[in-house]
Structure 1
Amino acid sequence: MKLSRDMAEFQARLGHEFADPSLLVRALTHSSMSSPNRDDNQRLEFLGDRVLGLVMAEALLAHDSAATEGQLAPRFNALVRKEACADVAREVDLGTVLKLGRSEMLSGGRRKMALLGDAMEAVIAAVYVDAGFEAARAMVLRLWGGRIGAVKEDARDAKTALQEWAQARGLPPPDYAETARSGPDHAPVFTIEARLQSGEHVSATAGSKRQAEQAAAAALLSKLKSD
């Protein structure tokens, strides 16, 4: 199988030449484009998530031999969560070669965090299946680069950090409410309000509910720390 020019250029950005190029094509095929003769990337995504986890666990242990499990866990979560995978996908311009059905394409699928993150995990699995763990490990370490050494001690996502802040003060978990939605159907914008039972609340706006919730949680945490 011969890759298209765009796919070949993407392969070069990954730094891995596939012995079986069909694996790369499958890794970049969203379920909206699947058919009886075309597999999507969901099974590869499942595998890639586990490969990424092992690589990051090894890398964090090697980077800081004195770190405790309690210190390593939030760093690990920050490096493997979907947002981090999507950031790496953007850096290698994965969105331009993602194979999407018409509905996903019209709804801005090439920019969606979840789709980019899922496809990045699938690409990791494709390299693993194509050439083994060492090849996948080398690519992951190259693409994640300085993130491993730069990940913060408190690397929890904002929603987790806000929930822990509330629990430490005897409060129930925060609530998140959608207060507004704007924009066309294919590119909606959500406004989410994060609320604590003690009365504090902050709103934030983003292109997905998940991102808006994280932004609202981060803003509320910042407000609580400055008060």
Structure 2
Amino acid sequence: MEDIRQLEKKLGYRFKDRSLLKKAVTHSSYVKEHDRNGQSNERLEFLGDAFFDAVIGEELYRSFPKEEEGFLSRTRATLVCEKSLANEARKLGLGNYILLGNGEAHNGGRKRESILADAMEAIIGAVYLDGGFEAVKELVLRLFAAVIEDARHGKFIIVDYKTTLQEKIQNDGAARIKYVLLKESGPDHDKTFQVQLEVNGKAVARGTGKSKKQAEQRAARAMLEKEI
């Protein structure tokens, strides 16, 4: 396991409270095996997801003054997706710093996209708690500068099935869309999630994936394909 201070240097941010960074790279499998009284990065991941979304949303709003809400939503969804987060995590070599349980580590957890993306979000949450909004904004805009620039130049093929479905259903009238987690199966290092899509309380499609976000996207895609 590499020294976490090296990760600080790669991030370009020095923590006042380095324990926040350690928590951000602590996977739930490590807590279960080695530190029952400790905390995993899941709460920080929740916080980081919100601030990552907000920072990217503000940047897109400023970058595309003439675009409508639908375009902004689809572009933001592409930039804040699991793949985008995992790609930046790989550039940082983040997998080398994540604390994992033995089983997760032996089964390729350091390279798993969902684990890398979750840790990246947790770091964003940790930076917010340590330095506030301006600190996390500077970090996100610097680390994701290349993908934001790609978005400005139209280099993304944006396929966000959830947003597309939301727009289509709303065009047909008011509707309540809900994604319900039906099942979570498999060991920690290789979980599978099954999600049910409900419209106005009626089950209309299902999707499975290696993360909840992926399962939701697949459920939305299944619904859209029914409509074709």
TM over 0.5: yes
Correspondence 1:19-30 to 2 at 5 A: 19-30=16-27
**What letter corresponds to residue 41 of structure 1 in structure 2?**
N
Distance 2:164 2:51 in 1: 30
TM-score, normalised relative to structure 1: 0.68
Query: Residue deviations 1:147-205, cap 9 Å, x none?
Result: 11312464115x679999xxxxxxxxxxxxxxxxxxxx9999xxxxxxxxxxxxxxxxx
In structure 1, the residue matched to 2:11 is 14
Which consecutive residues of structure 2, in runs of 5 or more, have no partner in the other structure?
167-186, 191-209, 222-228
Residue 128 of structure 1 deviates from its aligned partner by 0.2
Structure 1 residues 56, 102: closer, same or farther in 2, change over 3 A? same
Taking only the aligned residue pairs, the percentage that are identical comes to 36
1:155 aligns with 2:152: no
1:125 aligns with 2:125: yes
Report the count of equivalent residues.
Answer: 177
Residue 64 of structure 1 deviates from its aligned partner by 1.2
Residue 98 of structure 1 deviates from its aligned partner by 0.4
**What letter corresponds to residue 30 of structure 2 in structure 1?**
M
Alpha-carbon RMSD across the aligned residues, in angstroms, is 3.2
In structure 2, the residue matched to 1:69 is 69
In structure 1, the residue matched to 2:52 is 52
Correspondence 1:143-222 to 2 at 5 A: 143-151=143-151, 152=154, 154-157=157-160
**What letter corresponds to residue 11 of structure 2 in structure 1?**
L
Q: In structure 2, the residue corresponding to 1:146 is in which secondary structure?
A: helix
TM-score, normalised relative to structure 2: 0.68
Distance 1:67 1:20 in 2: 40
Of structures 1 and 2, the larger Rg is shown by 1
**What letter corresponds to residue 29 of structure 2 in structure 1?**
S
**What letter corresponds to residue 146 of structure 1 in structure 2?**
A
**What letter corresponds to residue 65 of structure 1 in structure 2?**
P
Residue 45 of structure 1 deviates from its aligned partner by 0.3
Correspondence 1:77-92 to 2 at 5 A: 77-92=77-92
Distance 1:66 1:162 in 2: 20
